[in-house]
Structure 1
């Protein structure tokens, strides 16, 4: 009994220390220009000196759960207006791009690592895709041009099915000699189709549920939305579809819909995603043993594979799969360099371990080393490269303070948060002159991180964050009013 209490208490204490260190690490990483996720992995490896952990199955389960939450949060933040123009190149990168990358890396793995052809292709499949967790974490808060940022995020959010398919297919071909490659290809297309369809269905259901069900506490809405993410993955996987793809698609639908308690849902998802990133990367760090990882043989082979992946395979895949898709040389160079590796390759590298494939431990160590190299070299230089290539856009400010009603219960009211665009019709007008619906009230205006007490004579400016209290039935009307463009701007466009 005492032993059980000690184990439980130790776990709680360790979790508290872990999350505090993780949060402080994000602040530290931004100052030294390193992605926080690489520091999370280093923390995990350092903890390995005190905590022995070699449960690949548990690490895989935690990794998949964390990826569901991270993809869901990334999808919520994805704007459809930005995503729509880059769907075709993103899908091309997520499919043919992964195939080309995997193929080139497989040839290198055959020559450098001495694997058989099936094992070499398996290695290529594991590191062939970009990682959503790494890309979302590194691009968050950066002022990369929307077109480029959307391309990278959409690619990383949708290329997991191809990587998982190739990995599982190669394992089946290695362990089951009678397996048919044609049946595996058919299975891939079924997974994609099922993932897309169920992602659309569950996304629509989630929007309907969030807007139709009056919950007693506003704090339940974020939990309800997250539950839909888990349900989407579970049901899609149960029906042999791509659960990760379904989660990403459903999150995009939810994030671009007019939903109740939007601010609460977004903030909860962001915080939960950070918790999952810290947990996942630390656990994956625990799974690696520094004495094995930094052996001379692994370092040399890992550096060679990283060099080929970053400077040969990824650029060839990007330039080939986006041929004649309206990207210039600078943009393609940046997309090539920003193909970060992260949690997905490490999680996929646990598959061969669990299947007891010959050489799987060496494969895992080299994959881990490649991920570390990618995060360290590519992740830390993304912002610098974007500035050198003139691919940074105007800095978009976010409110540093939030105004939110947390105890409305079943009241028919909602706080609307909206950032005014420079070309909006009401910019330059006083609050008295703006035809807000009856009963609506502007409670606060945040301008340049300063609170502006609203009065009848307050003039609205571009970049202002308005917080408007209104009944839910007027929400759509208010949003349309805020989004309406000025007549001069409309005439110029016409």
Structure 2
């Protein structure tokens, strides 16, 4: 085994091997349409004691810690990339799915588990709570490069970003009830509202504090800003946990606030967090793959019961929860069917499955093995067919417009200036006008215009067209004035002239 017998250089080599394997697995998965998390898990199982035998790993506490840390990073990155304008329109449906939807899914799955695994009711409901929520890591990864309609993508991302508190709350409640059956369920209910409320408030406060600090502090290197930003994610989770509230919810809300604020070094922060989230995702799923022993997971009994539970979860519990949670909301039957199918299970259920092991419950390892198989089934069946289902239901959106150019956006701290990117849309007042006819604020320089695949050197007679990417050097003092001018609409100009 490598751990315990290798020197430090061997362990470093192993980490490098795991990261390279994860990157190649991500590339391979995108070509064959298989969710990357499946390949990451398989890498972990392959190098484990039941595979090539490189590593023997069975420490559920370490896996739990790594999993929680990785989920913080993944949730934070997902929140940074989420546009509030898109989420705002689906806020209520997402919250309903994240609370009532998780509860209904957990209860219905728990009923099935009671009879399939022949366990006590509290244990069955504990199992249901663990698999009751969709997974942010799986959903963000599945939707990132797919052209699903914005409404569907926003609903799924907002749900997966906010439903972890409900799943964690239910899991901890039923662990307590299994350990101490005399505990009153009603006494625990107020803690749910405390967790959600304080988590939301902390996320808003620390998100605002982070945005203010990022824009006000002057650091020596631009590479320090992404680290400074990420530190707020860890502080937010820790502060929420210290107050016995939901750290995951607080982190996601804080990321939403930061991501939708005017930020200096936005490009560097975004790129760093995206790469770091991928690294966290790779390591998390590999570690969870190591924790699972194939000779235990792929037993006939586990496979049979896992398939039955997966069938109930995918085709009964999740759809019923979605249709009830979205009752009388503006979603068509086709949209509800898609949301039912796209409720992916991933890292969160596996991480939560370590809680009963750490608590020393009787059927903890049985639950872990079955839940692990259920997650694999969900990823393979649902994750690999999202595009197919969306196409059949007519829910594919327009092809995502990703510019093919690559210009590094910078902030020049010593000069107190920034290079910003602006894409001109058809309804922007600057479209169709020559640069010399536009009254830009002071200390503004149009450095470059990218039109399609062409780089255009800007002159006074250069006309701005819809779809152009403008790269503008501006003094921070006039950044807000420039932003307002660029975002003026054609209708606004007409009203002003009248």
* TM-score w.r.t. length of structure 2: 0.95
| Aligned twin of 1:239 | 243
Displacement of 1:424 after TM fit? 1.3
Report which stretch shifted further, 456-465 or 23-32.
456-465
| Aligned twin of 1:58 | 62
Match 2:167 to one of 156, 163, 168: 163
Go from structure 1 to structure 2 and tell me whether the alpha carbon gap of 1:158 and 1:25 turns closer, same or farther (over 3 Å shift). Answer: same
Displacement of 1:445 after TM fit? 2.3
Displacement of 1:5 after TM fit? 9.9
Secondary structure of 1:417's aligned partner: strand
Secondary structure of 2:202's aligned partner: helix
Secondary structure of 2:142's aligned partner: helix
| Aligned twin of 2:37 | 37
| Aligned twin of 1:431 | 435
Counterpart Cα distance in 2 of 1:444 and 1:39: 41
Contact 1:414 1:472 in 2 (8 A): yes
Secondary structure of 1:426's aligned partner: coil
1:24 aligns with 2:24: yes
Displacement of 1:488 after TM fit? 8.9
Contact 2:443 2:478 in 1 (8 A): no
Match 1:382 to one of 372, 381, 386: 386
| Aligned twin of 1:149 | 153
1:82 aligns with 2:86: yes
Matches within 5 A, 1:378-457: 378-404=382-408, 408-457=412-461
1:98 aligns with 2:96: no
1:466-488 Cα shifts (integer Å, max 9, x gaps)? 21111111111222222221129
Counterpart Cα distance in 2 of 1:288 and 1:90: 32
Secondary structure of 2:461's aligned partner: coil
1:264-315 Cα shifts (integer Å, max 9, x gaps)? 1111111110110001011111111111111111111111111111110000
Displacement of 1:451 after TM fit? 2.7
| Aligned twin of 1:357 | 361
Go from structure 1 to structure 2 and tell me whether the alpha carbon gap of 1:173 and 1:475 turns closer, same or farther (over 3 Å shift). Answer: same
| Aligned twin of 1:373 | 377
Secondary structure of 1:470's aligned partner: strand
Match 2:488 to one of 484, 489, 494: 484
Match 1:301 to one of 299, 305, 312: 305
1:367-402 Cα shifts (integer Å, max 9, x gaps)? 011111111111111112112211122123223444
1:236-282 Cα shifts (integer Å, max 9, x gaps)? 10111100000000000000001111111111111110110001011
Go from structure 1 to structure 2 and tell me whether the alpha carbon gap of 1:125 and 1:4 turns closer, same or farther (over 3 Å shift). Answer: closer
Counterpart Cα distance in 1 of 2:336 and 2:471: 40
Contact 2:409 2:421 in 1 (8 A): no
Match 2:468 to one of 461, 464, 468: 464
Match 1:332 to one of 328, 332, 336: 336
Contact 1:215 1:410 in 2 (8 A): no
Contact 1:440 1:470 in 2 (8 A): yes
1:195 aligns with 2:203: no
* TM-score w.r.t. length of structure 1: 0.96
Contact 2:410 2:418 in 1 (8 A): no
| Aligned twin of 1:318 | 322
Displacement of 1:407 after TM fit? 7.4
Report which stretch shifted further, 214-223 or 173-182.
173-182
Contact 1:338 1:378 in 2 (8 A): yes
Q: How many residues get paired?
A: 489
Counterpart Cα distance in 2 of 1:450 and 1:18: 39
Contact 1:217 1:407 in 2 (8 A): no
Counterpart Cα distance in 2 of 1:5 and 1:201: 47
Counterpart Cα distance in 2 of 1:61 and 1:438: 51
Contact 1:423 1:489 in 2 (8 A): no
Go from structure 1 to structure 2 and tell me whether the alpha carbon gap of 1:238 and 1:396 turns closer, same or farther (over 3 Å shift). Answer: same
Matches within 5 A, 1:149-228: 149-228=153-232
Matches within 5 A, 1:127-142: 127-142=131-146
Contact 2:411 2:418 in 1 (8 A): no
Counterpart Cα distance in 2 of 1:353 and 1:5: 27
Unaligned runs of 5+ in 2: none
Matches within 5 A, 1:272-311: 272-311=276-315
| Aligned twin of 1:258 | 262
Displacement of 1:489 after TM fit? 10
Secondary structure of 1:114's aligned partner: coil
Report which stretch shifted further, 171-180 or 326-335.
171-180
Displacement of 1:456 after TM fit? 2.8
Displacement of 1:458 after TM fit? 2.8
Counterpart Cα distance in 1 of 2:300 and 2:467: 54
Displacement of 1:418 after TM fit? 2.0
